[in-house]
Amino acid sequence: MAGNKTVVLVSRPAGMVSEDIFAVADLDVPTVEDGQILVRNQYASLDPGIRKTLAETNTYWVPTPLGAPLTANVVGEVIESRHPGFQSGDLVVGTGQLQEISAFAPGPMCWKIDPASELPLSASLGILGATGLTAYFGLIEVGQPKVGETVLVSGAAGAVGSAVGQIAKIKGCRVVGIAGGPVKTKRLVEEFGFDAAIDYRGKTREQLEAEIRLHCPNGVDVFFDNVGGIQLDAALANMNWKGRMAICGLISEYNLDGPPAPMQNLFSIVGKTLRVEGFLSFVYADLFPQALREMEQWIKEGRLVWREHVEDGIESAPGVFVMGAFSCSANVLPVSTSW
Amino acid sequence: MAGNKTVVLVSRPAGMVSEDIFAVADLDVPTVEDGQILVRNQYASLDPGIRKTLAETNTYWVPTPLGAPLTANVVGEVIESRHPGFQSGDLVVGTGQLQEISAFAPGPMCWKIDPASELPLSASLGILGATGLTAYFGLIEVGQPKVGETVLVSGAAGAVGSAVGQIAKIKGCRVVGIAGGPVKTKRLVEEFGFDAAIDYRGKTREQLEAEIRLHCPNGVDVFFDNVGGIQLDAALANMNWKGRMAICGLISEYNLDGPPAPMQNLFSIVGKTLRVEGFLSFVYADLFPQALREMEQWIKEGRLVWREHVEDGIESAPGVFVMGAFSCSANVLPVSTSW
């Protein structure tokens, strides 16, 4: 019968992702298993984390089999439910597939959206979804910033990073962001209210260390890392005694075909008694409702802004994902997310 | 007047430490400043951490100036006090200098020893001193082992590592140690009661990963790391969800002249939401008396044993330190510590 456009994985990437490892296929509408819901997706989010599902093996994400639909966070309307907590007509966000209609079991990252909300549905894939919650819990629960402390953010112009910086400002911190190129660094200061921005492009580890030192004259208390590599290494050299490093992702390594650069400053972990902690937002699922209310309030007060990049039609997903992986930002499809 | 034999630093090491960067000098007995005590040292400990004071700059330890005495933990008798908490005749342990008579201000790592104790004075430089306390607090406060969990220890045959393993056994864990060579690995199991031991020598990261997997069939919940490098990297691959890595030292890097090996498994920090935490025992100084009482009790019950390597005469210090740095263990002089 078909009628369900889907982006499938054709081959596994070696190094950078290129469009030709994906294909758009016309699949059947999936059968709904017990405990699942069937959702007509309005938006799908092209988060950089999808990159981790493309490899044959990895430490955490379930690998996508060749020929299978890509995993993606989606938002849409329930059209059939075999789960007691959901019924047809509910608006939901959850981890489904990059296709027009997908079936999935609601997990900790799945919840209903109030149809009366004034915010666009796509916000649940960005600032009021996985990316916003990752920023919120990574910064607040792992980083534990205190008023007057300095927070450094890598991947700062991305969906997560830009939210981290704004929340850190709301919490009374000095906030410095690292991003690639003058457009993004300008945006950090002018649009997202960072105190200073550092362009990592073309810089060695030593140069990054010096530039962080320049913009963080009192040292770094909290580093929120999306990138890893020499940015993490340069941050290590600038951490304060008892600093916290919230490790959200290591984008710089995802597309590497060879080994990453050696880490030169790991001894700071001992010498400055640092806490380096990885996290995944779903472990805080019990606290989501409260965090979403708080962030929605900040949005209404104009203290928390976000960007979306939305394109029409599922066919554009491979191209947008490749662009996103390239620029270390998140995008969406048939539609959107913040970046 | 002189009469105070002292080991001084003659030149800075490049790579491995060799004896010729040290010299034994005959210096004056130091003048006691306000707030200091003058101590006739009976034992000095040649901990691997001394290596960090030999470099011109580093992140935490105060560099030793060329021509100056080496910093070392010492135990001895106070012969003059300008500190209200100490008087002549007190037996003390503290961070002083590698010389016969040294003057220093008592810091958090300095305390009085009960002259009625049945344990040898040198124990206060080992199991009941900085090394034992480092093992105790690193494992218990940072690692937070639970009954039935698996604890992996690198540098396991050293002063700190052997204590970590025994304390982890007391806490009801499965304990696996990594050490260099058959003598040490045999000792881990037969003398210190580890459940299994891994010889890292001649092994690649992949081989270490496989061997850890073999001996830790339920994964690793706590990794106590003295070594860093590929041992840390191999441990990362075997950590369990929400594992803890207590980073005590990175001995494998101290003598490197070039960059360390690239870390291949850092993403485990995110994917398994690990907590990687550095620590220095002195931050737990308020808890020292209770910890020392507890460890002394375990010693009396025969549940906690330790080794000392003691040589006579301060002249032997350079040779013993070089031997220690070589084998990643701690030694002592004019006298001892556990190793």
Nearest to B270 among A247, A265, A269 (CB): A247
Nearest to B60 among A237, A271, A278 (CB): A271
pLDDT(B337) > 50: no
What does CATH list as the number for A4-125+308-332?
3.90.180.10
Copy the structure tokens of residue A280: 């995944």
Q: Search chain A and give the residue with CA nearest B62.
A: A271
Q: Does A278 touch chain B (CB under 8 A)?
A: yes
Beta strands per DSSP E along A10-117? 22-27, 37-46, 71-81, 91-97, 101-104, 111-112
Would you call A277 and B276 a contact, using CB atoms and an 8 Å cutoff?
A: yes
- Min Cα–Cα distance to chain A from B105, Å: 21
Contact by Cβ (8 Å): B306, B45 = no
Q: Which residue has the higher pLDDT, A311 or B12?
A: B12
Please state the ipTM of this predicted complex.
0.84
pLDDT(B330) > 70: no
- Min Cα–Cα distance to chain A from B118, Å: 34
Give the pLDDT confidence of B97-150 residue by residue, as tens digits. 999 999 999 988 899 999 998 898 889 988 999 889 999 999 999 999 999 999
Q: Search chain B and give the residue with CA nearest A267.
A: B250
Same fold, A4-125+308-332 and A130-281: no
Confidence class for position B58, pLDDT limits 50, 70, 90: low
Give the pLDDT confidence of A155-205 residue by residue, as tens digits. 999 889 999 999 999 999 999 999 999 999 999 999 999 999 999 999 999
- Best B51, B267, B279 member to test A by mutation, with max A CBs in 10 Å, is B267
Peptide bond into B334 cis (omega under 30): yes
Confidence class for position A338, pLDDT limits 50, 70, 90: very low
Backbone angles phi, psi at B104, to 5 degrees: -155, 160
Beta bridge partners of B78: B39
The CATH class of B130-281 is alpha beta
Residues of B in contact with A249 (CB under 8 A): 270
CA-wise closest residue to B252 among B176, B142, B178: B178
CA-wise closest residue to B139 among B222, B236, B242: B222
Angle between helices A159-170 and A288-300 (to 10 degrees): 80
pLDDT given at position A329: 32
Give the pLDDT confidence of A244-292 residue by residue, as tens digits. 999 998 888 876 778 888 999 999 999 999 999 999 998 999 999 999 9
Give the pLDDT confidence of A311-324 residue by residue, as tens digits. 888 888 888 888 76
Residues of A in contact with B280 (CB under 8 A): 270-271, 273
Would you call A59 and B264 a contact, using CB atoms and an 8 Å cutoff?
A: no
How do B91-97 and B111-112 pair as beta strands? antiparallel
pLDDT given at position A325: 43
- Best B266, B272, B279, B284 member to test A by mutation, with max A CBs in 10 Å, is B266
Residues of A in contact with B250 (CB under 8 A): 266-267, 270
Residue spans per domain, chain A: 4-125+308-332, 130-281
Nearest to B262 among A52, A250, A261 (CB): A261
Nearest to B278 among A247, A253, A269 (CB): A269
Would you call A278 and B273 a contact, using CB atoms and an 8 Å cutoff?
A: yes
Please calculate the CA angle B33-B37-B42 and round it to the nearest 5 degrees.
135
Copy the structure tokens of residue B338: 């556990």
- Min Cα–Cα distance to chain B from A92, Å: 26
Please calculate the CA angle B281-B286-B288 and round it to the nearest 5 degrees.
60
pLDDT(B338) > 80: no
Would you call B275 and A272 a contact, using CB atoms and an 8 Å cutoff?
A: no
Give the pLDDT confidence of A204-247 residue by residue, as tens digits. 999 999 999 999 999 999 999 999 999 999 999 999 999 999 99
How do A220-225 and A196-199 pair as beta strands? unpaired
Q: Search chain B and give the residue with CA nearest A239.
A: B59
Confidence class for position B189, pLDDT limits 50, 70, 90: very high
Would you call B248 and A270 a contact, using CB atoms and an 8 Å cutoff?
A: yes
The CATH class of B4-126+306-338 is alpha beta
Q: Which residues of A151-183 are buried (b: 16+ CB within 10 A; e: fewer)?
A: bbbbbbbbbbbbbbbbbbbbbebbbbbbbbeee
Would you call A277 and B278 a contact, using CB atoms and an 8 Å cutoff?
A: no
Give the pLDDT confidence of A37-94 residue by residue, as tens digits. 999 999 988 887 788 889 887 556 688 999 999 999 999 999 999 999 999 999 999 9
Confidence class for position B34, pLDDT limits 50, 70, 90: very high
Residues of A in contact with B264 (CB under 8 A): 259-260
User: Mean pLDDT over all residues of chain B?
Assistant: 90
Averaged pLDDT for residues B214-240: 97
Nearest to A249 among B59, B250, B270 (CB): B270
Q: Does A282 touch chain B (CB under 8 A)?
A: no
- Best A227, A267, A282 member to test B by mutation, with max B CBs in 10 Å, is A267
Query: pTM for the full model?
Result: 0.86
Nearest to B250 among A61, A237, A266 (CB): A266
